[in-house]
């Protein structure tokens, strides 16, 4: 994975057909997805449950781009090895998931993955300052994590700009997750984001047998930025 700051769209399979992830991933990649975003939820850190390492491992062979795994789980550390073994390229943990974020980021890199750090909307972005040399990606949540299809929280645009200034020339991606649409994407890109996670805005209107809307939806986001 080489680093660049071009804008990338990362469809979240949270909005795909859960019984058909392999074909959904192939369809959305064929339609132009840059990364595949995989939302892991534990029913404890967030009020929703999705899936664990065996499912991530099973879908890995269908991902030809970058598998971006967003861990909304607490604790995180006991599961890092399993998700790395499942083939995650990027493993993102939440700052709010436990008291030992520094250790968690070290463990993610030691397991051979790029290290991501996600921040909930209520967390000041300055909290990442001491960790900037330990992360490859910062994910700013623009909804409260747990569900797809929620409304974008506009106060995170100013946090994005602050984070962009803090990062300087470091090779760190700024990822935006939640409520990304053709209306909100330009705001965060102008503020410095380069990875746009989008679930409902990409998958709406399409299916594995009618994938063209996936491409049109991503084109609409790209055209807006
Ligand atoms: C929310 C997840 C997101 C979600 C985004 O907790 O982390 O990745 O799938 O969904 P949309 O794009 O529909 O807001
Ligand atoms: Zn996510």
Residue of 38, 44, 156, 178 best suited for mutating to test ligand 1, as the one with most atoms within 8 Å of CB:
178
Instruction: Tell me whether strands 137-141 and 173-177 are parallel, antiparallel or unpaired.
Output: parallel
pLDDT grade, residue 39 (50/70/90)? very high
Rounded mean pLDDT of 26-39? 98
Rounded mean pLDDT of 135-141? 98
Q: Does domain 8-224 have CATH number 3.20.20.70?
A: yes
- Label residue 166 exposed, middle or buried (CB < 10 Å: 0-12, 13-18, 19+): middle
At 219, give phi and psi (nearest 5°): -60, -40
Report pLDDT for 2.
86
Q: What is the whole-number distance in angstroms between the Cα of residue 89 and the centre of ligand 1?
A: 19
190: three-class secondary structure by DSSP: helix
Rounded mean pLDDT of 27-44? 98
Q: What is the whole-number distance in angstroms between the Cα of residue 173 and the centre of ligand 2?
A: 15
Q: In sequence order, what DSSP letters do the residues of 141-152 get, joined into one string?
A: ESS-TT-SSPPP
Rounded mean pLDDT of 41-65? 98
Query: Across all residues in the chain, what is the average pLDDT?
Result: 98
Q: What is the whole-number distance in angstroms between the Cα of residue 12 and the centre of ligand 2?
A: 7
Q: Is 4 a catalytic residue?
A: no
pLDDT grade, residue 6 (50/70/90)? very high
Whether 1 has a pLDDT exceeding 90, the answer reads: no
CA-based end-to-end distance of the chain: 24
Whether 216 has a pLDDT exceeding 90, the answer reads: yes
Report pLDDT for 160.
98
Mind listing the pLDDT tens digit for each residue in 171-198?
Answer: 999 999 999 999 999 999 999 999 999 9
Return the number of other C-beta atoms located less than 10 Å from residue 3's C-beta: 11
116 in contact with ligand 1, CB cutoff 6 A: no
Report pLDDT for 219.
98
Spell out where 35-106 has E strands: 36-41, 67-72, 90-94
Rounded mean pLDDT of 129-146? 98
Length of the chain: 225
Q: Is 177 a catalytic residue?
A: yes
Give the residue carrying structure tokens 């990362």: 10
Dmax over CA atoms of the chain, in Å, equals 47
Q: CA 95, 15, 191, 159 torsion: positive or negative?
A: negative
13 in contact with ligand 1, CB cutoff 6 A: no
8 in contact with ligand 1, CB cutoff 6 A: no
Instruction: Tell me whether strands 90-94 and 67-72 are parallel, antiparallel or unpaired.
Output: parallel
Protein residue whose Cα sits closest to atom 1 of ligand 1: 145
Report pLDDT for 133.
97
148 in contact with ligand 1, CB cutoff 6 A: yes
Q: CA 212, 215, 217, 223 torsion: positive or negative?
A: negative
């Amino acid at each position: 994975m080489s680093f660049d700051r071009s804008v990338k769209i990362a469809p979240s399979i949270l909005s795909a057909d859960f019984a058909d992830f392999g074909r959904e991933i192939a369809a959305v990649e064929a339609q132009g997805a840059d990364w595949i975003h995989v939302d892991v939820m534990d029913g404890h850190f967030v009020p929703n449950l999705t899936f664990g390492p065996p499912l991530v491992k099973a879908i890995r062979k269908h991902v030809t781009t970058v598998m971006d795994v967003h861990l909304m789980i607490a604790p995180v550390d006991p599961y890092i090895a399993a998700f790395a073994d499942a083939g995650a390229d990027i493993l993102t943990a939440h700052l709010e998931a436990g008291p030992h974020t520094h250790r968690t980021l070290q463990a993610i890199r030691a397991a051979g993955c790029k290290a991501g750090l996600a921040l909930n909307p209520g967390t000041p972005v300055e909290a990442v300052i001491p960790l900037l040399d330990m992360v490859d990606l910062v994910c700013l949540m623009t909804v409260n994590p747990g569900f797809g299809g929620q409304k974008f929280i506009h106060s995170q645009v100013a946090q994005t700009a602050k984070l962009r200034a803090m990062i300087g020339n470091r090779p760190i991606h700024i990822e935006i997750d939640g409520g990304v649409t053709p209306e909100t994407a330009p705001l965060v890109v102008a503020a410095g984001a380069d990875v746009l996670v989008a679930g409902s805005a990409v998958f709406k209107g399409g299916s594995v047998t009618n994938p063209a809307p996936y491409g049109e939806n991503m084109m609409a986001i790209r055209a807006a930025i």
